[in-house]
Amino acid sequence: MNRRASKIFRRGGRPQAASGLVELTEGLEHARGLDRAARTLSTAVRRALPKGPVKDVLHGVPAGHPAHPPLTDLPMGAWISVAVLDLLPGTRRAAQVLVGAGLAGAVPTALTGLADWSALHREQQRVGLVHAMGTTTATLLYSASLVARTRGYDGAGKGLGYAGLGALMVGGYLGGHLAFRQAAGASHADQVAHLVPLGWHDLCSVDELPDGWPVQRRLGYISLFVLRTGDDVHVLADRCSHLAGPLHQGRVITDDNADLCVVCPWHGSTFRVDDGSVVHGPATGRQPAFESRVLEDGTVQVRPAS
């Protein structure tokens, strides 16, 4: 490798050109100066959105995955299209309509994003706060762009639109960091299908399990939530699908349908212990569940539920 080429690499082969942006973004994860604003806003969001059906819809519980990421396609798609149309003649009306459509799509996108953000870890909230600043700035710039366009100031409207696009790209990049580097919105539950072989596996003696009180047991690499109620033994993957909270430390409750549930101690996600289905968010993914049986000698055996 010649001297010029070698200058673009750091130790370990990391390209310098990319590392500056990556290090800046990773630095946001440790920016404690954002914590006060994050606490204030997240507290306000949680008070405004108590646990219930509205909050579950905003999280995406009925859909089975977070609602925010797909909704971001609405404003982003509309506003990127505006940037293209503004370069072409005879597209004034179409561009104006798309700016308005993007603003309309920004409303549910922001609401779902706030709901998810309020239930994230501190490092994720720091990045998410700056992400929200970027997208809010973009929304304000596109609002000003729409006003300018409707008043006939097309040049100013286009300029504001391109400024909004720049802010949108910054917000979008940070959103990608949240989703793909910090795994906000991804399932954090152990994926038992490829970690646990087929068939029944010895877990423990039934005498080790207190009645009505959840405990943690291990099956190979997997940590399990185990709850005995009388003669029944309920088993779920212990790492909460939302952000890997320890379910065995959670509260056991009965929901409105008289089904036994466990509430994650970290962010309040609620799962039915029979099958791991989500009762309340912020979790949207079903908790991996296990079938169980007790042999005559008192050995509890489990296998992944089909």
Across residues 73-79, what is the average pLDDT?
97
Q: Is residue 247 part of a domain?
A: yes
Q: Give CA–CA dist 106/46, Å, rounded.
A: 20
> Domain end: 157, 181, 205, which one?
181
CATH number for 276 = 2.102.10.10
On whether the CB atoms of residues 29 and 127 are closer than 8 A, the answer is: yes
Would 39 be classed as within a structural domain?
yes
| Inter-residue contact 60 to 109 (CB < 8 Å) | no
The pLDDT, as a whole number, for residue 6 is 40
If asked whether residues 70 and 212 sit together in one domain, one would say no
**49 lies in the same domain as 113:** yes
pLDDT of residue 277: 95
Give dist(CA 273, CA 251) in Å, integer: 12
Contact 51, 264 (CB under 8 A): no
Same domain for 62 and 105?
yes
Do 199 and 174 share a structural domain?
no
3-state secondary structure the chain: CCHHHHCCECCCCCEHHHHHHHHHHHHHHCCHHHHHHHHHHHHHHHHHCCCCHHHHHHHCHHHCCCCHHHHCHHHHHHHHHHHHHCCCCCCHHHHHHHHHHHHHHHHHHHHHHHHHHCCCCHHHHHHHHHHHHHHHHHHHHHHHHHHHHHCCCHHHHHHHHHHHHHHHHHHHHHHHHHHHHCCCCCCCCCCHHHHCCCCCEEEEEHHHCCECCCEEEEECCEEEEEEEECCEEEEEECECCCCCCEHHHCEEEECCCCCEEEECCCCCCEEECCCCCEEECCCCCCCCEEEEEECCCCEEEEEECC
Q: Is residue 134 part of a domain?
A: yes
**Predicted confidence (pLDDT) at residue 7 exceeds the cutoff of 60:** no
Task: Mark which of 151, 181, 211 sits at the end of a domain.
Answer: 181
Is the pLDDT at 301 greater than 70, yes or no?
A: yes
State whether 164 and 59 are in the same domain: yes
Instruction: Tell me the two tokens of residue 298.
Output: 């008192």
94 occurs within a structural domain: yes
Pair 39, 122: CB distance under 8 Å:
no
Judged against a pLDDT cut of 70, whether residue 2 lies above it is answered with no
Q: Is residue 151 part of a domain?
A: yes
**Residue 14 clears pLDDT 90, i.e. is over it:** no
- Same domain membership, residue 257 and residue 294: yes
**pLDDT tens for each residue of 137-183:** 999 999 999 999 999 999 999 999 999 999 999 999 999 999 999 99
Same domain membership, residue 207 and residue 274? yes
Together in a domain, 74 and 53: yes
Could you tell me which of 171, 219, 215 has the C-alpha nearest to residue 195?
219
Contacts of 176 (CB under 8 A, 6+ apart): none
Asked, for residue 197, whether it belongs to a domain, the answer is yes
More confident residue, 70 or 13: 70
Report which of residues 191 and 303 the model is more confident about: 303
Give CA torsion, residues 164, 166, 167, 169, to 10 deg: 120
Same domain, 252 and 143: no
158 and 225 assigned to the same domain: no
pLDDT at 81 > cutoff 60: yes
Gap between the Cα atoms of 209 and 274, Å rounded? 17
How many structural domains compose the chain?
A: 2
Kindly state the tokens that stand for 5: 């080429």
Nearest to 271 by CA among 223, 238, 303, 304: 238
What tokens does 205 get? Answer: 């003696």
Domain assignment of residue 228, yes or no: yes
Token pair, residue 166, equals: 């720049």
Question: What is this structure's pTM?
Answer: 0.85
294 within domain boundaries: yes
Q: 203 and 138: one domain?
A: no
Structural domain ending residue among the three candidates 181, 215, 234 = 181
Query: pLDDT digits over 31-45, tens only?
Result: 999 999 999 999 999
Range of the structural domain that residue 120 is part of: 31-181
Q: Are 63 and 37 found together in one domain?
A: yes
Per-residue model confidence (pLDDT) at position 160: 98
Residue 283 and residue 182 in contact, taking contact as beta carbons nearer than 8 Å = no
